[in-house]
Amino acid sequence: MSFLQPLLLWGLLAAAIPVIIHLLNRRRHKTVMWAAMQFLLKATRESRGKKKLRHILILTCRTLGVAALAIAAARPLLSGVMGWGGGKPDVVVLILDRSASMEATPKSGTVPRRELALQRVRDALADLEGTRLVLIDSASGEPQDVPSPDVLDQISSTAATDTAADLSALTARAAEYLTETPGRSEVWIASDLQASNWDPANDRWTSVRAALSALPQPPKLRVLSLGGETSPNQSIRLLSSRRSGSELLLDVEISRSDDTTTAVNLPLTATLNGVRSTSNVTLAGQNLRFRKVLPIPPREDSGFGWLSIPGDGNSRDNSSFFAYGAARPVKSLLVAPPGEAADYLAIAAAPGGHAGQTIERLDPGQLPRLDTADVATVFWAAPLPEGEAAAALERFLSDGGEIVFFAPAGESTAKFLEIQWSAVTESEEGKFFILDSWDHDDGLLRDGLDGSPIPADRLKAVKRRLPEGEAAMLARWDDGKPFLVRRVLDRGTAWFVGSLPDYTWSNLADADVLLPVVQRAIGEGAERFDAGFLADLGSSAAEARPGEARVRLDDYGAPAPSNLAFEAGIHRFGDRTLALNRPPPEDDPEILSRSALGGVLEGTDFTLLEDRGTSANESVSRDVWRGFLIAMLFFLIAEALLCLPKKPVAGTDSIPARPSKA
């Protein structure tokens, strides 16, 4: 605790005045024995102890009231970090969240939360001369000694990054470090409490709490939360990138943090191989998804670029990077017996006008020669695969392929990914199975990027099979039974559709439903060939392989060579070119609640400080003089109540008069 007017602390000497007056009053009186009073003294001797205690309490309240007034006049400040109690530690382990979300500026603020955190920590450590400071940053995860708090904002390990943070792993690393560090220690965690970075459901927190408790001297945990409202912010994210002939197809999402419905026009700048173009997009709601088509110049088999929007409340989410390679045909595989369903699926997979898309038809009897090396998507309208065919399809899914299974006409009890088909059920005479509801935001029946829905409500069936097993249901019939379910295996997805594009089954063959479903599956499957050009920072794909040197190719923003591995951009690893972007969870606005934080750190000696400051020059200390004034009023009121005269006991309030003689 510090004081703005420390000289006024001399006023604490005034707290001795009531005691001095009390002592002087005791010396001023002399005891005179009076025989007539002896019987009264005897009557009140039993209550003398209570009166003495009462006088002591009155004296204490007067003394504390004067002391509280003197402290309030000195303007006490409670330090946000060190003011939580406890003595001076031998070592402070600072866990610094350097994730992309920490670059958001508080509302009406001027500097990012990461810089605010560094300022707060530096101020708190200013009076801890001799305390050792060890930094564990969220990007590298390695502890390093910091020679002085004054250089915290000057070293590369505290600079901005585009990475995510794993607070459970960082806290575990701090506990591991402290096992080899004797002395009294504290762990300070500077974070914006973004829920995705804390991941309260992670089982690792159990071992972290156990590791901290098992230390010879369990450390105190100080959680410095840089919370509060953020400045208005828009973010841009590349959902997918795919080359189609001489065009680059970019699926883009722009989101904003505020909940206003006012439309905003944003300039969108696209940079492709050094050439820039700008167009306007209108953001009417919370987010906008759309497809950006960029023409690829002739004779350019490969290249890279980025999309960007103007800077705002967070400078790390205003761009998204992409790269592409040589064009390649998109091939699909159809496994189905000859018939109407196979014909309609073949037309939907390679319709006229979709150059570069081909489909190979394969009879189920030819399954031993199943080869998916150059296949984007597999359409399966036959009994579920078994044996070698099933193993080949599982490898295909692991590599990022897509498989769409349609209900087979023939009976089979086979399972694939623990999913099997039920027996065929038929609707009542003159009635249909009607699609009742489906996910408009996810899956093969989702709305278009422009918000237009697929008319799936027109789907009617007289025959169906139900996919049975544990899977995510994305569409259901009017009786609640599943129509479309999904199983994910590594990078790939398997879809199970509970009908067949055969008019003896349903009208699924209508182009307004089947065509978008098939084309979306092909597009998502083709991304596995372009996925080699995209990676999220922090993933294994974003790391250099043995013998590869990392070089950054783009000049967006102000690249810092010392933070090369932690910044989004176009990176070259030997002969490979990768577009690295911030992890998707960094755009998740959910903040960890107090109760959730308490559950994460349950059983540890932790304290939370919520700092809602907006300026790096604003001290994290809190002016608490009002609290001492309230304490003074409390003591004076208590003293007044103790001084009130004691209520007389009924029947003893007066001495009855002696009767007069007649």
pLDDT, position 651? 52
Contact, 236 vs 320, CB < 8 A? yes
Which residues have a Cβ under 8 Å from the Cβ of 661 and sit 6 or more positions away?
Answer: none
Calpha distance 383→406 (Å, rounded) = 9
Mean pLDDT of 175-199: 93
* pLDDT > 90? residue 44: no
Q: Give the mean model confidence (pLDDT) for residues 98-117.
A: 90
User: What pLDDT does 125 receive?
Assistant: 85
Mean pLDDT of the region 471-496: 94
Q: Are 28 and 96 in contact (CB under 8 A)?
A: no
Tokens of 51: 């009166």
pTM: 0.72
Which residue type is seen at 274? G
**Are 3 and 9 in contact, with CB atoms under 8 Å apart?**
yes
Model pLDDT, residue 662: 43
pLDDT tens for each residue of 304-313: 999 999 988 8
> Between the CA of residue 227 and those of 156, 159, 193, what are the distances in Å?
24, 19, 7
State mean pLDDT over 632-647: 81
The pLDDT value given to residue 87: 63
Mean pLDDT over 163-177 rounds to 96
Can you list the domains of the chain with their CATH numbers?
2-34+48-76+634-643 (no CATH), 82-227+591-620 (3.40.50.410), 234-327+537-587 (2.60.40), 330-531 (3.40.50.880)
What Rg, from alpha-carbon coordinates, does the chain have? 37
Higher-confidence residue of 81 and 380: namely 380
Is the predicted pLDDT of residue 70 greater than 70, yes or no? yes
Mean pLDDT confidence for 50-73: 82
Residue 613, pLDDT > 70, answer no
Q: What is the pLDDT of residue 620?
A: 47
Task: Count Cα atoms within 13 angstroms, Cβ side, for 211.
Answer: 18
The position carrying tokens 């220690």 is 185
Q: At 588, which amino acid appears?
A: D
Residue 411's pLDDT band, with cuts at 50, 70 and 90, is confident
DSSP per-residue letters across 40-73: HHHHHGGGHHHHHHHHHHHHHHHHHHHHHHHHHH
Confidence class for position 65, pLDDT limits 50, 70, 90:
confident
Confidence label for 171 from pLDDT (cuts 50, 70 and 90): very high
Q: Categorize the per-residue pLDDT at 467 as very low, low, confident or very high, splitting at 50, 70 and 90.
A: very high
- In this structure, are strands 534-536 and 463-464 parallel, antiparallel, or unpaired? unpaired
* Residue 343: both structure tokens together: 């014909």
According to the model, what pLDDT value does residue 243 have? Answer: 87
What's the rounded mean pLDDT across residues 595-618?
Answer: 79
Q: Average pLDDT in the 148-163 region?
A: 93
Higher pLDDT, 528 or 579: 579
Mean of pLDDT over the chain: 86
Q: How far apart are CA 153 and CA 440, in angstroms?
A: 46
pLDDT tier at 141, thresholds 50, 70, 90: very high
Q: Is the pLDDT of residue 402 over 70?
A: yes
Per-residue model confidence (pLDDT) at position 49: 66
Instruction: Say how far residue 260 (Cα) sits from the centre of its chain.
Output: 22
d(CA 69, CA 19): 17
Q: Which of 12-16, 120-124, 249-253 comes out lowest in average pLDDT? A: 12-16
Predicted confidence at residue 654, as pLDDT, reads 47
What is d(CA 424, CA 410) in angstroms, rounded to the nearest whole number?
9
Contact partners, residue 15, CB within 8 Å, separation at least 6 = 63, 64, 66, 67, 70
Residue whose C-alpha is closest to residue 635's, from 128, 91, 15, 161: 15
Question: Residue 269 — very low, low, confident or very high, per pLDDT cuts 50/70/90?
Answer: very high
Alpha-carbon dihedral angle through residues 224, 230, 233, 236, given to the nearest 10 degrees: 30
Give the type of residue at 45: R
614 pLDDT exceeds 90? no
Return the percentage of the chain with pLDDT > 90, whole number. 51
User: Which range, of 4-13, 327-336, 475-484, 539-548, averages the lowest pLDDT?
Assistant: 4-13
Q: How far apart are CA 499 and CA 456, in angstroms?
A: 13
Q: 105: which DSSP letter?
A: P
- Comparing 68-72, 92-96, 140-144, 167-171, the range with the smallest average pLDDT is 68-72
The predicted structure's pLDDT at residue 83: 47
- How does pLDDT run across 331-345, given as a tens digit for each residue? 899 999 999 999 999
Question: Region 381-385: what's the mean pLDDT?
Answer: 92
